[in-house]
A and B are shown apart, each in its own frame.
Chain A
């Protein structure tokens, strides 16, 4: 007998530099410290049965990460949250947990979209491609900053946004427009958007900004984009284009 749970967690602070695989290792160790009755694979190196919904790029923060995990005993979801938070002080916090029905599909197969808040770090305003130190004068910088919101707005309002996606097969031109489900540009240039996500037509925030920077004829360094993931969504069954968070709070 086993019980499948879906855990929602946030990842903020310096731990944002810890990559996807290391977050998996971190969660396994946290589960052990919390004394949760985890389900293990067979063999000489047993490992926990876990899967992360969607990798998050190194350096990005998030309030909506999801982990599916299998336990051997039923534990109250709130207790899982509390027990994990007692042993996690590194910037990852359990936010919510649900017990999944039997044979529920995995989070990674459900993912349809992700909401992000995207901002540019100072270096990007200068268009400095190695993203290191801005040598620009204040005047140039403030001009660019002021411009950013308007330019982003124009860019996203186009009917078609042609982007060059590099895949294993080579370069491919795709239209990003239908994959941007919702967007809003704040006065300071911060973009909040729901982007298509998952195994098909996944849109990385960096691709969107790379395309934007190309459209205004500037160099772009992925390190200059500050990515914050707000939540991950599945499509509401039967309702095309309607999304809901993997765990509704």
Chain B
């Protein structure tokens, strides 16, 4: 396929913005089709800057899958950076896709992958620059159908007003049916409302405009009901049942510029056996489904050949739990040696096996070990059901230091349910113990002028829907920052404090993320006002304007505290309860109670906890 020779922007305009490569398309393995030969044009958007969006595997999968349909042409669009945003507005140039460089508003579908809450204003930017009405209710038969997918759609309510459809679940299964329905409606004379109404019957498709909500006087959700009898009250999540035979791209896109994930990403499994109680992905993608070793090998070779990438990495929530990991790594290391490819490993559990593997593929002097204890004490790690113990960490660190490593990264969360000052003090303690372990393990004469370098990072805990902590309260910014200060003091009090660096996150952003994560429909108006007031790229620290957000809440008579500061009662109706992910609310509540009692739960391979995901009848549930 040859690249389109026509660009939407003049050379002068392209040369006036930073990194024009972001907007020209034509990358290796991008797909060009004849528009006369296709019936459905799909613009796929990752609502963030190109380098981030191009690093996402989900788009690569669906891009390849959609383009494998002869009657569909899927193209890409990313958020224009501020400089181009200004150029497009000033010159009244409509936002365009990369492949054909055609205006997005001429497409049949505009799909957004929603990977984090802080991208919501960017969704509005893309709609706005495309010239598509921001609100679903204002769109006409000529506007594209705006559909959202990805983890944020498991509570789509805060952005319900902007979307015509949401796809709940893994995209591989129902898009074909959606396209066929669309074609049928186009043939018989398209009427937006009639099409959307029929979409509601496709499994996994949620049509927000077909539901109405009622609230109690205190602001809590009283009911959410379909407006018509043929619209389902519950939307069930879609999943791929056989990962080994599911579509996976053989020829992923290769960007010209360096992007965040500039390598072949080999998905080895979906789902996770570990029930960390803060983790949304752990519940959303249950049950664990592995890709066969053969499928992984074939896929790895095909992608390396078609892309020419010099690096491959494994993608999954917990690669250490992949049953065939030793064989797969042997194969990759052997291939890598022959083909001069780097193997980059995601965070594996640090043990003798992973250290041996890592020593073969990394420069131990430069690379660092990563541990994610998430909490500073064993008590709190039991509350969050994180299996890692202090003994595990110190044993792993000991072996790593023997192997030549001297850099250690530690990740923690602050503000977890039940957290006390002692738990926070534990963060400094464990960092110090690792330093002591280094000095005990590596004699002075073997340190080669180096010393242990420990970096402890904390993020603020944000409760997410469909986790046992969906009932939990979050804390105020002041409280969060106080916890970060205590952590810092705890580290400073350590004997080896000079070997420990400490980083923490911005509390304002965590609070906003918390509001959107568990928000309801009424927030659409707030997001719209914040966007109109100039909020965009909220995930980019320096671009985040907390004051404008607060003004938008005030204007709409809503209090952010209602959404994030409040612990929910056991029987509260949540805005996302209409979605059935497989895992039941009863199970999550049971886990919440276990957490508060400080009791751990088994993982899926040890014992079935009856979470509900067994209804899919696949993966670890049927072993």
Contact = CB atoms under 8 A, between A and B. Distances in A.
Interface of A: 13-15, 17-19, 22, 25-26, 28-33, 38, 40, 43-47, 58-59, 87, 89-91, 121, 123, 130-133, 221-224, 226
A28 B310 CA distance: 9
Interface stretch (B69-77, B251-259, B399-407): B251-259
Contacts, number: 101
Contact of B16 (A26, A46, A130): A130
A87 B14 CA distance: 27
A22 B16 CA distance: 19
A247 B304 CA distance: 32
Contacts of A22: 21, 256-258
A26 B310 contact: no
5 interchain residue pairs of minimum CB distance: A29-B308, A32-B308, A223-B15, A33-B308, A17-B20
B56 to A, nearest CB: 20
Nearest to A39: B340
A122 to B, nearest CB: 9
Interface string B414-427: 00000000000000
Interface string B1-24: 111110100111111100011001
B533 interface: no
Contacts of B304: 32
Nearest to A132: B12
Contact of B26 (A15, A40, A58, A59): A15
B16 A132 contact: yes
A131 B5 contact: no
Among B7, B12, B14, B310, the most chain A Cβ lie within 10 Å of the Cβ of B12
Contact of B256 (A15, A87, A130): A15
Interface in B534-572: none
A25, A38, A43: residue with the most chain B Cβ atoms closer than 10 Å: A25
B11 A25 contact: no
A204 B3 CA distance: 29
A131 B16 contact: yes
A13 B308 contact: no
Interface in B232-288: 254, 256-258
A30 B11 contact: no
Interface of B: 1-5, 7, 10-16, 20-21, 24-28, 91, 254, 256-258, 304-310, 339-340, 342, 361-363
Contacts of A28: 308, 310
24 contacts: A17-B21, A17-B24, A19-B21, A22-B258, A29-B310, A30-B308, A32-B308, A33-B308, A44-B342, A44-B363, A46-B310, A46-B340, A59-B14, A89-B2, A89-B3, A89-B28, A90-B28, A123-B12, A130-B16, A131-B12, A131-B15, A132-B16, A222-B15, A226-B11
Contacts of A90: 3, 26-28
Given A14-B24, A90-B26, A121 B12 contact: yes
A29 B309 contact: yes
Nearest to A44: B363
A15 B254 CA distance: 13
Contacts of B309: 29, 32
Contacts of B2: 89
Contact of A13 (B13, B20, B26, B305): B26
Nearest to B25: A14
B405 to A, nearest CB: 14
Among B14, B362, B363, find the residue whose CB has the most chain A CB atoms closer than 10 A. Answer: B14
B294 to A, nearest CB: 23
A47 B342 CA distance: 10
B254 A29 contact: yes
Nearest to B101: A14
A223 B3 contact: no
Contact of A14 (B5, B307, B339): B5
A131 B15 CA distance: 10
A33 B3 CA distance: 18
Contacts of B306: 33
Given A14-B26, A33-B306, A91-B26, A58 B11 contact: no
Nearest to A223: B15
A32 B310 contact: yes
Nearest to A15: B26
A49 B305 CA distance: 20
A130 to B, nearest CB: 7
Contacts of B20: 17, 58-59
B83 to A, nearest CB: 13
A131 B13 CA distance: 8
A213 B304 CA distance: 49
A212 B235 CA distance: 68
A17 B27 contact: no
B353 to A, nearest CB: 20
Contacts of B310: 28-29, 32, 46-47
Contact of A25 (B91, B258, B305, B342): B258
A31 B308 contact: yes
A25 B259 CA distance: 12
A205 to B, nearest CB: 14
Contacts of A133: 91
Nearest to B304: A32
A223 B16 contact: yes
A231 to B, nearest CB: 22
A13 B12 contact: no
Nearest to B1: A89
Contacts of B11: 59, 121, 223, 226
Contacts of A31: 308
Nearest to A130: B16
A148 to B, nearest CB: 18
A62 B52 CA distance: 30
A154 B308 CA distance: 50
Contacts of B91: 132-133
A15 B3 contact: yes
A121 B16 CA distance: 14
Contacts of A25: 256, 258
